[in-house]
Amino acid sequence: MMDSFFLLLQGFETALTWQNILFCFVGVMLGMIIGVLPGLGPVSGTALLIPITFGMEPVTAIIMLSGIFYGSMYGGTITSVLVNVPGEAASVITCIDGYEMTKQGRAGAALGVSAIGSFIGGIVAVVALTFLGPLLSGVALKFGPPEFFAIMMLGMLMIVALMGKSLVRGLIAAFVGLLLSMIGQDLVSGEYRFTFNSMELMDGIDFAVMAMGLFGISEILLNAENPTKIKNAGKVKGLLPRRDEWGATSKAIGRGTGIGMLLGVIPGANSIIASTFSYILEKKVAKDPSRFGKGAIEGVAGPETANNAHSGAALIPLLSLGLPSSPTMAVILGAFIMHGLTPGPALFTKNPDFVWGLIASMFIGNLMLLILNLPLVGTWAKIAMIPYKLLFPIILMVILVGTYSLNGSVWDVAMMLFFGLVGYVLKKLDIPMSAMIVTFILGSQLESSLLQSLSISTEGFMIFFTRPISAVIMFIAITVFALSIYSGIKNKRGQLAADVEM
Q: Is residue 495 part of a domain?
A: no
C-beta atoms surrounding 246 within 10 Å = 13
Q: Is residue 397 part of a domain?
A: yes
Which residues span the domain enclosing 271?
2-489
Task: Name the 3-class secondary structure at 170.
Answer: helix
**26 CB contacts (<8 Å, ≥6 apart)?**
64, 67
**What is the pLDDT, as a whole number, of residue 338?**
80
Residue 124: phi and psi, rounded to 5, are -60, -40
pLDDT (tens, 9 = 90+) of the chain, 502 residues, equals 556 677 778 888 888 888 889 998 998 888 887 777 655 667 777 777 777 787 788 888 888 888 888 787 777 777 677 766 555 656 667 777 887 887 787 777 888 888 888 888 888 887 877 777 666 666 665 677 887 788 778 767 766 665 556 777 878 888 888 888 888 877 666 777 877 777 878 778 877 678 778 777 777 787 777 655 444 455 566 667 778 778 888 888 999 888 888 777 765 556 766 777 788 788 888 888 788 878 888 888 888 888 888 877 877 777 777 777 667 777 788 888 888 887 777 777 788 888 888 888 888 888 888 787 767 766 665 665 666 677 677 777 767 876 776 677 888 888 888 988 988 888 888 887 767 877 787 777 788 788 888 888 878 888 888 888 888 888 888 887 788 777 767 766 666 665 555 5
If one counts the domains in the chain, the total is: 1
Q: Is residue 382 part of a domain?
A: yes
**What is the pLDDT, as a whole number, of residue 230?**
47
Q: Please, which contacts does 452-457 make with residues 24 or more away whose CB atoms are closer than 8 Å?
A: 452/145, 453/144, 453/145, 453/146, 453/149, 456/144, 456/145, 457/146
Q: Are 395 and 48 in contact (CB under 8 A)?
A: yes
User: pTM of the prediction?
Assistant: 0.66
Q: Is residue 411 part of a domain?
A: yes
**497 CB contacts (<8 Å, ≥6 apart)?**
none
Q: Is residue 310 part of a domain?
A: yes
Q: Is residue 110 part of a domain?
A: yes
**What is the pLDDT, as a whole number, of residue 22?**
92
Identity at 152, one-letter amino acid code: M
DSSP per-residue letters across 255-278: HHHHHHHHHHTSTT--HHHHHHHH
